[in-house]
Amino acid sequence: MKKTIYIIRHGQTDFNVKQVVQGRGVNSDLNETGRRQAQAFFDKYHPVDFDVVYTSKLKRTHQTVAHFISKNIPHEIRENIDEIDWGIFEGVEHDKSLQKEYYDIIESWAKGNLTIKIEGGESAQDLADRLIPFVEEIKQSEHQSVLVCTHGRTLRVLMCLLLEKPVSAMDEFDHQNTGLYVLRFDGNKFSLDLENDISHLNTNSGSAHS
């Protein structure tokens, strides 16, 4: 069955602004900028006749697509599209020591060492493994127009799985707050139509961290 998948990252939070690590263990709210981003996305895409809206369990994704949910579009929460668990880094503001360990791990993943993880957290492979059932759900679903709101690192790995790229290529996929990816599914493979599009925003309010 042919289908179109819209995938966005959540809107901005204060943790994004403050460069605080925000993964699966931090359940933050959108800030005022994030709420404006969510409204701008809705203003542009509300004419799309979505069959379903998928979010993670974290409220920053729910808040980003709340206007769509209020239209009585079915809302499905999937914990397997939560952000990666950053372990002992969760809720910690970036400093030089943390940044070095963080970027060393990102570099290791890019080299294909996907099982490396921060203490108490998940590896890139852990994240990929929990996303695979969601990819299969999307493929097998009867829904033809799908909106997914998720998180930065999760979005990157999800794009690799959907486009059948190695997970180590995840950093090819940039993301900003409410940046939109649009994919087409022909019943067999996904193709990319739109990449990290923020044309619905008046200003660039993206952030590099989850």
Summarised one tens digit per residue, pLDDT across range 78-137 is 999 999 999 998 888 877 777 788 889 999 999 999 999 999 999 999 999 999 999 999
The pLDDT > 70 percentage for the chain reads 96
Q: How many CB atoms lie within 10 A of CB 168?
A: 16
- 35 falls within a domain: yes
- The region that residue 197 occupies, defined by phi over 0 for left and psi between -120 and 50 for alpha, beta otherwise, is beta
- 178 falls within a domain: yes
Stretch 3-32: mean pLDDT, rounded? 93
pLDDT of res. 127: 98
Provide CB contacts within 8 A for 163, sequence distance 6+: 183, 190, 191, 192
- The number of angstroms, rounded, from the C-alpha of 129 to the middle of its chain's C-alpha atoms is 16
- 177 falls within a domain: yes
Domain range for 156 is 3-85+128-197
Stretch 198-208: mean pLDDT, rounded? 65
Query: Residues 50-78, buried b or exposed e (16+ Cβ, 10 A)?
Result: bebbbbbebbbbbbbbbbbbeeebebeeb
- 113 falls within a domain: no
- 207 falls within a domain: no
- 28 falls within a domain: yes
Q: Give the whole-angstrom CA distance, residue 73 versus residue 67.
A: 10
The answer to whether 45 and 8 are in contact (CB under 8 A) is no
| pLDDT tens, position by position, 103-119 | 899 999 999 999 999 99
> What is the pLDDT confidence band of residue 205, given thresholds at 50, 70 and 90?
very low
Q: How many domains does the chain divide into? A: 1
The CATH number of whichever domain residue 180 belongs to comes to 3.40.50.1240
Instruction: Give the CA radius of gyration of the chain.
Output: 16
- 105 falls within a domain: no
- The number of angstroms, rounded, from the C-alpha of 100 to the middle of its chain's C-alpha atoms is 24
